[in-house]
Structures are given as structure tokens and as C-alpha cells.
Amino acid sequence: MSFVQNFPFFTIILSLICAVVSFVLSKNASKWVSVALLSISSVLNLAVLVYCSQNNTDFTYMMGHFPAPWGNELAAGVFESLMALLFAFVMLMSILGGASHVEHDVAKQRRHLYWVMVDLTHAALMALCYTNDIFTGYVFIEVCTIASCALLAVRGGGRVLIASVRYMIFALVGSGLFLMGVVFTYSITGHLLFPQLREAIALLWRDGSYRLSMTVAIGLMSVGLAIKAGLFPFHFWLPSAHGRATTATSGILSGVIVKGYLFLLIKIIYRVVGVEVFHASGVQNVLLIFGVAAMVFCSAAAVGSRRLKTMVAYSSAAQIGYMFMGLGMGTEAALIAVFFQIISHALTKPMLFLASSSLMDSCGGHQDFRSLRGAGHRNKPAGFLFTVGALSMVGIPMFIGFIPKLHFASAAFGMGWRTWAVLGALVISTLLNVLYFLYTAMLLWLPVNDDNRPSFNGKSAWRHAAPGLALAVLGMAIGLQSAPLAQLLQQGIALFCR
């Protein structure tokens, strides 16, 4: 066994240790512990990715050396390590970019607890990426919910409290449904580990017994995770939660946590249920229809929103629709498009949140569109970042947002009524994106007379924008040269769907 195979476990246990240590440290030290943790975790996950990709292999890791049907396992392959790397890196950039806002938004005596919660969220996400056991998945879903709710509520203030209660209520409905699905699956099959579950489910489905119960279980798990990820029509908590939180939390919530749940759902579809059974159960079409509806309705809601951050958050809900639509299409090409979409959204959305907060700062804290007019001239780096993000969200070629749209469109052909649903939703959603993102981006660069504006110190703006710029550069690199990543995803699919 290679030493690299320990790394997935290290990322989880290291973040749990860091959370405990941060609890007793001072607020500044605990911040640097989180930064160090996320950097180390990125490096470890990169090592696992390189190991899996070069040897073209995946591996399972026994916890405590109990063999398969009894023990708990971690599994790592190209997809798992790629997602873990993406989550760790995006979280790192979000907290680096949002650190100054955290100091402003969070009360001094509670500030070190914020970093404890960042560590715990990271632990939960790593466990969601690497776990090979469905009940462990449930437990870490709840850890992730609690930690992210604390990240949201820590800002204080009445409206944030209401947003966090809404967030909690929908998250709890989702995890209740998911747990019920797990219990159903366990009582039908008697297993909790993914490989054993998959064998048992395939056998039962061929047999024809328990089909109805299995369909209900698949439906409960998918709907539960869809509610937690904020799929239309259960997205009402999302704009208030993502839009009201402090900047770093907004980036983490919309850039990373939503995808943690989504990746668990992908693992359940492809490694537990099996894509054939998932297709036959009919749940696939439900995801497709709600994904398409999310793309249209949430984009329309974004056009109607009056605040900048709410608009960006509604656009997240629409982008989540793209991902569920891809899962509903069910082909391998569509799965590649889903992963491109996950990567593109995770890199772009935190950047947009960082840029919007910076722009708000330069307008004296206002975020209605009237105050934002010409804000790009006052805060050039943030205006530049927002423009890059907006162009990427619209799907202009050369920017990263173009790649998933291209893949979705080319995957859609030859699927009967689905082709028209997917292509129609792509067109409508892109047009609406043009309407609200390009409109906002142009608004930022309108020439205005700045005499009666609050003064803004532009010197530190470039320093604050550096993490956002890193995300932008990475996004541009993938947007210009997506072939190596596509190759990696192809390799991942071959390992993942085996």
C-alpha cells in the first residue's frame, strides 16, 4: 500500500484536530490554522489526484482494519480527489478573500469560533467526498449542515437569524427525507457500504422484488439531497442565506457546500443505485424536469431582484438547475458536463461574491443598482472581477462558463423530448443571464460624476482582490484550454462507473 493512500483520511482527521485546537487559540492564530489546514489539504488532495490519475486506479481505505461488510471505508479515485481538491482550494480562496469582512461582521469574542466552523465544514466536505458508507454520508451531511448554519448565523443581526432558521428548516427536511431513504435501502438490502449495496440492488432489481420500495427509497434520497442543494422549487431559503451571509460564508455556501451534497447524490446514483436502475425507476426524469424549471424560473427571479447579492444568489439557484438537468439526462457525456459545471460554478461564484462585497464597500455599503452605477471606476479590481465573472456566467467563449454549456448542448442530441427541453432551457437561461449579468456589468462602468459619493480607499483594493484574481486566472486557463481537464474527467468516469 502506497503512503499516498492515507491522505484522504489525513485530510478529515487533520481538520477535526484543527477544529479542536482552534477552539482554545486566539482569534488570529485560529485564522492562520484554518488557512494552513486548507492549504495542506489542497496539497494532499492534489497528491491523491496525481497518484490515481497516473496509476489509472482507485482504492478503498479500511478504517481500523475491519474488512468489508462490517468496517467503515473511504474510497478515492480521480473524481473524489478532484472534487476534494476543488472544495479545499475554493474554500481557501473564499476565506482569504473574505477575511477582512469576517473581522468586520463577526463580534470579537466569537471570531475564533468562526474559524472552528470553517475547519468543521472542511472536515464534513472531505468526508462527503471520500466516504464509501451511506450512513457515514448521512452523519457528515448533518455535520456540514450544522457547521454551515453556524457560519451563516455568526454574523448576527435579525435578518441573518431569520435566514439561518429558514436554511435550517429546509436542510432538516432534506436530511430527514434522506435518512428515511437510507433506512428503506438498509432494510431492503441489509448493507451500508456502497459496493455491497450496489450488488444487492442490482440483484433485487433483476429479480423484480421490492421494486416499489426501492423506487421510493431512491426518490427519498434524491429529493432529500436536492432540497439540501437548493433545487427549484425548494430554493426559497437559498437567496436569503447566500445573500445575507458574510462574504467568506457566501462563497463557501454557494461555491462548495451545495456541491458537496450534489457530489454525494452523484455517488449514490452511480456507485450505489447504478445508473440503469436509476433510469428505470423514473426518478431521473423528475430531476431533469425540476432542473430545467430551475434554470428558467430562478434566472427570471434573478432578473427581478433588486439587490446585487440576491441577484448573484438567484443565479446560483439557476446554475444548480443545470447540474440536476445533467443528472437527469443520465449519459456519460452529460456527467462530464455536470462536472464541468460544478468546477466552473465553484470557481466563478465565490469570485462574484467577493467582487460584489468589494463593490458594495466602495458604495458605502449600499447594494441597490442605483448606488452601484459607476462603481467599477472607484474600485477597479472588483469591477474587473465582476465583469469576468459575469461574462463567464453568460457563457462567452474563452471564459470557463462556456465549457459546460457546450458540453450540455452536445450531450443533449438524440434523446427524444429531452433534447428539446434541454436545448430550450439552455437558450432561455442564457438569454436571461445576458439580461441581468451583462446589464449589471455595464452598469458598473457607466461614466458618473463622483463628487457626492462616499470616499473609498482604493489602495488596499488590489490586495483584497488577489484571491478572486487567482480564481479568475484559473477559470480563464480552463476556459482557454479545457482538453486536459476533459481527458481527466473521461479517465475519472471510466473508474467511477466501473
Partner 1 sequence: MQELLNHLNNLPFNYEEAVAVILFAIGLSMLLFCRNLLKKVIGLDVMDAGIFLLLADRGYITGRTVPIIVDGVTEMEYYINPIPAGLVLTGIVVSVSVTALMLSLTVRIYKTYRTLEIDKLYIMMTNWRKGERE
- Catalog residues that contact partner 1 under the rule CB under 8 A: 135, 138-139, 142, 145-146, 149-150, 153, 158-159, 161-162, 164-165, 168-169, 172-173, 176-177, 179-180, 183, 186-187, 192, 211-212, 306, 368
Distances (CA, A) of 87 to 225, 320, 429: 18, 16, 26
CA 314 to chain centre: 14
Report the nearest approach of partner 1 to the CB of residue 173 (Å): 6
CB of 306 to partner 1, least distance (A): 7
Least distance to partner 1 from the beta carbon of 289, Å? 21
Do the beta carbons of residue 330 and residue 272 sit within 8 Å?
Answer: no
Q: Which is nearer to partner 1, 191 or 405 (CB)?
A: 191
CB of 169 or CB of 442, closer to partner 1: 169
DSSP of 409-460: HHHSTT-THHHHHHHHHHHHHHHHHIIIIIHHHHHHT-----TTSPP---TT
Q: Is the bond preceding residue 67 a cis peptide, omega within 30 degrees? A: no
User: Is the Cβ of residue 224 or residue 291 nearer to partner 1 in the bound state?
Assistant: 224
CA dist 196 → 70, 182, 215, 326, 453 (Å): 11, 14, 18, 27, 64
Sign, CA torsion 487/492/494/497: negative
Helix (H, G, I), strand (E, B) or coil at 59: strand
Name which of 57 and 187 has its Cβ closer to partner 1. 187
CA distance 289 to 295: 10
User: Minimum distance from CB of 139 to partner 1 (Å)?
Assistant: 6
Give least dist CB 166 to partner 1, A. Answer: 9
Q: How far is the CB of 69 from partner 1 (least distance, A)?
A: 10
Beta carbon of residue 19, minimum distance to partner 1 (angstroms, whole number):
14
Nearest-approach distance from CB 129 to partner 1, in angstroms:
20
Nearer to partner 1, 2 or 187 (CB): 187
Q: Which amino acid is at 267?
A: K
- Of 150 and 264, which has the nearer Cβ to partner 1? 150
Would you say 104 or 306 has its CB closer to partner 1? 306
Nearer to partner 1, 198 or 244 (CB): 244
The C-alpha R_g of the chain, in whole angstroms, comes to 22
Q: Alpha-carbon distance 292 to 425, whole Å?
A: 6
Q: CB nearer to partner 1: give 162 or 446.
A: 162
List the beta bridge partners of residue 59. 76
| CB-based contacts of 188-191 (< 8 A; 24+ apart in sequence) | 188/213, 188/214, 188/217, 191/69
Ranges assigned E (strand) in 21-112? 59-63, 72-76
Strand, helix or coil at 119? helix
Instruction: Output the smallest distance, CB 142 to partner 1, in A.
Output: 5
Residue 276's CB is within 10 A of a number of other CB atoms, namely: 11
Q: 71: alpha, beta or left, given left = phi > 0 and alpha = psi -120 to 50? A: beta
